[in-house]
Amino acid sequence: MFTGTIVAMVTPFKDGEVDYEKLGELVEYHIANGTNAIIPCGTTGESPTLTHREHGEVVGKVVEVANGRIPVIAGTGSNNTSEAVSLTRHAKETGANGSLLITPYYNKPTQQGIYEHYKAVLKEVDIPIIVYNVPSRTGVSISAETVARLAEFDNIVAIKEATGDIDQASQILNMCDITVLSGDDSLTLPIMSIGGKGVVSVLANILPQEVSELTSSFLKGEIENAQRLHNSLFPVCKAMFIETNPIPVKTAMKILGRLNGEMRLPLCDMSEEHERQLKNTLEEYGLV
């Protein structure tokens, strides 16, 4: 259902408030540049710092501007299951095409607890769901066995696999019929080479055409072009994570004149040393 390049979109701020005009511009930018789907209110969108009102308004604005031209997959995860149900229900009511649901963070639930968490959301809301496995953020990883159990539900349509472990992705693909999406830009091609179908991309915030071409080239069997793009994009991929995401990508967008770079605490401006390093990488790629 969801394949290719799915951008984990940043949330623009202006003087401490969500900049809805700029948000709309970013949606149009991705539609014009070949992105296959948009995720508002994910980790890259600084969802932990959005109020419930802002969360709903951001999803609503993206759905409104997209107007059916591109799928919208709302980030609706929480470490509180009832809150995840509420956010997911609102996303469906707003018109989102799907939900990206992160595993509960900080709680460190057991595998059975993770399973019950997703099951509770599925019981209450009928919407396509992408499971999001990112243990570096949550403190717990979903086992391949648990993914296989969840894949038995029709509404679980994909997993964003961000463990950085190709073996984990291979195990999932061997155990069940679920779409695997890379959760790391630098691993898009490796994961697609074993059967993955695309990426939930941070890099696409600044290079949407190139990331889209990489995934579409591989899906069309144009392997050499996909390899060429992977190799050329690799340094920029790594630069997007020299500090906590989304600090580098928002800083890059500021350097490129596409965003003011404003974030909400506890995220803060990039260090001067890392900003120089990031700018050098962008210059070497030819963006600056």
Residues with catalytic function: 132, 160
CA 137 to each of CA 31, 124, 244: distance values in angstroms, whole numbers, following the listed order? 29, 26, 10
Pairing of strands 198-201, 4-8: parallel
Look at residues 95, 98, 89 and name the one whose alpha carbon lies nearest to residue 6.
98
Look at residues 211, 284, 278 and name the one whose alpha carbon lies nearest to residue 246.
278
| Contact (Cβ atoms closer than 8 angstroms) between residue 270 and residue 278 | yes
Tokens of 182: 């890379």
User: Distance (Å, rounded) from C-alpha 196 to C-alpha 159?
Assistant: 10
User: Distance (Å, rounded) from C-alpha 261 to C-alpha 248?
Assistant: 9
| Contact (Cβ atoms closer than 8 angstroms) between residue 39 and residue 200 | yes
